[in-house]
Structure 1
Amino acid sequence: MDFRLTEDQRALRKGVRELLARLFDREALRAAVDRPSLDRELWRELGAAGFFALRVPEEEGGVGLGLPEAVLLFEEAGRVLVPGPLVATHVAAGVVPGAAEGEVVVTAVDEGLVPWLDEADVVLGDVTGAVPMRSVDPLTPLHKVPGTGGCAHPPPEGGPPRRAERLPTTVEAEVLPDGDELVAVLLTAAEQVGSAGATTELAVSYAGEREQFGQVIGGFQAVKHLCAGMLVRAELARVAVRAAAVTGDPVEIAGAKLLADEAATGNARDCLQVYGGMGFTWEADVHLYLKRAWVRARLRLPAARAEEVVAEQL
């Protein structure tokens, strides 16, 4: 089996990277941090580009590609930290009218949490009584479904009604085709891989510019080791995710999610170490990658459950 990217796949990845560079550059990222609301125009632009309809059959108006191509898209989205419930909307594109075109924003209950509930038009699953909770990631607002563990922070007395009570459409998760939950896990892992690759690039770039004791810090062995370890983590996770996209094996998908979560969180921490004191500042983007990686690791088959899936087959 040949896991190398085809010429068409490489062209797809290049096109998506160029599209996101135009639609969501660093300036847009920092603006989103300052004003954390979903950019509907960006969502529609992604829909028009086929981001959500990529796996919808051509006879149904979609692009007609497969999971390996979807993984490439989500790597690129993770690389630039595109905010919003991308995975849920993509997975629901063949089921929920308007999702494929980016006209409808879909979110889903996941591990007792609901990302972007206030911005969603459709929610998959029961969110009755969902309350907002403080999210570590400024670009991923969260609600918690009662009785699912964790720590939630309800709105003050007299505050606005909960979004769960105002949603125009609530859809049971079972309406999605079998296997789409695994697809969601793998696409989340792909986002983590993109994030791991981005923090590796950030660390290497900074190490080649920052000077200490008369030379760039990238010349120091300790920094070299950090950057080399980041590259190994990112590439190992990337290979695992792309292989699982080809095989579709549930155990391989669980293993890929484990590796991707480790790569995203570990690389963000090491990138922060390379940056030193500068990495702790709000102006640097490192903390945004670390916080998003933490949230993604908590969603879509978190480590404890993924480890059980893998261990059961050993």
Structure 2
Amino acid sequence: MRFRLTEDQRALRDGMRELLARRFGPEALRAAVGRPGLDRELWRELGAAGLFALRLPEVEGGVGLGLPEAVLVFEEAGRALVPGPLVATHLAAGTVPGAATGEAVVTAVGGGGLVEWLAEADVVVGEAGDVREARGLREAVEVRSVDPLTPLHRMPGGGPAARPDDLFVLLTAAEQLGTAVRACEAAVQHARTREQFGRPVGAFQAVKHLCAELLVRVEVARAAVYAAAVTADPVDIAAARLLADEAAVRGARDCLQVHGGMGFTWEADVHLCLKRAWVRAERGGSVTESEELLAGELLIEAA
């Protein structure tokens, strides 16, 4: 199957990229790192842009688009490293008042009982799909998050959550893809401009190989994520999740290598990509579940 974006899909993707570049560019990202709390004004702007109501029917006040379009805008959100429980709020747009417009912030219980942005959320969707007010979850315990832009709490027990909704996993994979794209772009830009021994570091073979591997992982993950958005098949979504997680985590690691020593400093943005990718990889539950689902399907086909 050959899959190409339509003109409307490209316009949607480009429009979201322009909005995020204007509203949440590098300076805003850095400011968010040093500022506690969720930017509610930005959240409402994303709601006004249709991010949360994208798949709601027009008769219900939504945009009336489909899963492929949602994947495109969440890829852009991942590329911009927009903080907040975007996926949970999007999925709750049809059931939680105010979620579609960005007036309400909705979070969800993820892998290992982890809950993102609990202190800032209005509503929490539980493992069984039950909806509760966030302020009522006094039993949740705050835990230290590796990502400065993703505060975390853990529900009592901390055991594995119920198998996450497939759409939750796919949209998270789209965010991972966007972060992998950002890491790839950052690595290539640094390789072109940073000079060592009178030459751009990108002229050296080892750096060329790292950049090439970054691009390959991005494009393979993109093909898997886009295909899963078309089929909505659980096996395709599992494959997309595995490839997107790898592209985001390994991509950020390789981007650090391309940057050398400066890549490990707090002043560089590369570490933010890696830390966000780590946290998102835990959001969808154990990676083993996705691996077993995919392996089971492959065994059936081989039989």
Q: Name which of 188, 193, 201 aligns with 1:209.
A: 193
1:143 aligns with 2:149: no
1:234 aligns with 2:234: no
Distance 1:296 1:180, change over 3 A: closer
Report the equivalent of 1:106. 106
Equivalent-residue separation in structure 2 for 1:180 and 1:258 (angstroms): 14
Q: What SS class does the counterpart of residue 84 from structure 1 fall into?
A: coil
Q: What SS class does the counterpart of residue 157 from structure 2 fall into?
A: coil
Asked whether the equivalents of residues 254 and 301 of structure 1 are also in contact (C-alpha less than 8 Å), the reply is no
Report the equivalent of 1:170. none
1:110-259 matches, within 5 Å, as 110-111=110-111, 112-125=113-126, 127=137, 129-149=139-159, 181-259=165-243
Report the equivalent of 1:21. 21
Q: Which amino acid aligns with 1:124?
A: V
Asked whether the equivalents of residues 36 and 138 of structure 1 are also in contact (C-alpha less than 8 Å), the reply is no
1:293 aligns with 2:303: no
Give the stretch that moved more between structures: 94-103 or 124-133: 124-133
How far is the alpha carbon of 1:301 from its aligned partner? Answer: 3.7
Report the equivalent of 1:70. 70
Equivalent-residue separation in structure 1 for 2:217 and 2:272 (angstroms): 19
Q: Which amino acid aligns with 1:143?
A: H
Equivalent-residue separation in structure 1 for 2:2 and 2:56 (angstroms): 24
Q: Name which of 251, 257, 260 aligns with 1:267.
A: 251
Q: What SS class does the counterpart of residue 64 from structure 1 fall into?
A: coil
Asked whether the equivalents of residues 128 and 145 of structure 1 are also in contact (C-alpha less than 8 Å), the reply is no
CA offset digits 1:158-183 (Å, max 9, x no partner): xxxxxxxxxxxxxxx99xxxx98111
Structure 1 unaligned regions, length at least 5: 151-172
State the superposition RMSD in angstroms. 1.7
Q: Which amino acid aligns with 1:294?
A: W
* Aligned residue pairs, count: 288
How far is the alpha carbon of 1:149 from its aligned partner? Answer: 4.4
1:47-58 matches, within 5 Å, as 47-58=47-58
How far is the alpha carbon of 1:128 from its aligned partner? Answer: 5.5
Q: Which amino acid aligns with 1:262?
A: E
Report the equivalent of 2:301. none
Asked whether the equivalents of residues 164 and 285 of structure 2 are also in contact (C-alpha less than 8 Å), the reply is no
- TM-score relative to the length of structure 1: 0.89
Report the equivalent of 1:11. 11
Equivalent-residue separation in structure 2 for 1:235 and 1:118 (angstroms): 36
Q: Which amino acid aligns with 1:195?
A: T
Equivalent-residue separation in structure 2 for 1:2 and 1:214 (angstroms): 44
CA offset digits 1:109-130 (Å, max 9, x no partner): 1111000000000111175611
Give the stretch that moved more between structures: 294-303 or 4-13: 294-303
How far is the alpha carbon of 1:211 from its aligned partner? Answer: 0.8
Equivalent-residue separation in structure 2 for 1:91 and 1:294 (angstroms): 22
Give the stretch that moved more between structures: 300-309 or 194-203: 300-309
How far is the alpha carbon of 1:312 from its aligned partner? Answer: 1.6
Report the equivalent of 2:33. 33
CA offset digits 1:12-42 (Å, max 9, x no partner): 1000000111110111100000013100000
Equivalent-residue separation in structure 2 for 1:255 and 1:117 (angstroms): 29
Q: What SS class does the counterpart of residue 36 from structure 1 fall into?
A: coil
Report the equivalent of 2:129. none
How far is the alpha carbon of 1:2 from its aligned partner? Answer: 3.8
Identity %: 72
